[in-house]
Amino acid sequence: MAPRKQQEIFDATLRLVAERGYDGLTVEGVAERSGVNKTTIYRWWPSKAALLAAALVESDVLAFEAPDTGSLRGDLVALVEGVRRLLTEPPGSDVAVAALGAAVRHPELDARRFFADRFAREREIFERAVRRGELAESADPMLIVDLLAGAVWTRAVFRGLPVHDGFAAQAVATVLDGVAGGVPTRDPFHDGRHR
């Protein structure tokens, strides 16, 4: 299948899932919107789950390249900013929230491929940081990504709160520098007033 036609199918798939949810997504609807015969779609993808899983990874709408700013901190801020855009700016936000949300309720969708593909690309950030001496080899890149991306998901999707301009830098600083940030923590019960 021609790459351009494949992208049209993926685009139709993602837009339909954003508009109608996973339950409203049909191969017939994708065929109609993309101008491709449904038997052609079934020849390449045996089910709507397989089609959506492929679209999540291969669509230009959700395209992703790992940032390379020259520093771990800069790369992570750019990465978090990318996740923020993905989850808050249409059309990506409508697609990501609908499709990845559906994956929780529909195991046949298997969103692990999407996350595995993203993490394989994100791993470069950490490999470069180790080579530059910015990160210990024992650091867990997946945990770092989960903490940062999870912060955006929680703030933007689950709590429905705006993600302000400085959020990416603040989240990265919290992960890299720690919550206390070198400042002694204050005990509210022993702060000098209750002696």
Helix axes 3-24, 92-105, angle to 10 degrees: 60
In 10 A of CB 57, how many CB atoms?
A: 16
Q: Which residues of 91-129 are buried (b: 16+ CB within 10 A; e: fewer)?
A: ebbbbbbbbbebbeeeeebebeebbeebeeebeebbebb
pLDDT at 2: 85
- Point out the residues of the chain with pLDDT beneath 50: 183-195
> Domains in the chain, start-ordered, CATH in brackets?
3-58 (1.10.10.60), 72-177 (1.10.357.10)
With the CA atoms of 110, 162, 168 and 105 taken in that order, what torsion angle do they form, in degrees rounded to the nearest 10?
-10
**CA 126, chain centre distance (Å):** 17
d(CA 115, CA 17): 18
pLDDT at 138: 96
CA 163, 23, 46, 14 torsion: positive or negative?
negative
pLDDT at 8: 95
pLDDT at 189: 40
Q: What angle do CA 103, 105, 108 make, to 5 degrees?
A: 60
pLDDT at 149: 94
pLDDT at 181: 56
pLDDT at 182: 54
Write out pLDDT tens, residues 95-122. 888 887 787 777 777 777 888 888 999 9
Query: What Å distances lie between residue 82 and 49, 92, 151, CA to CA?
Result: 26, 11, 13
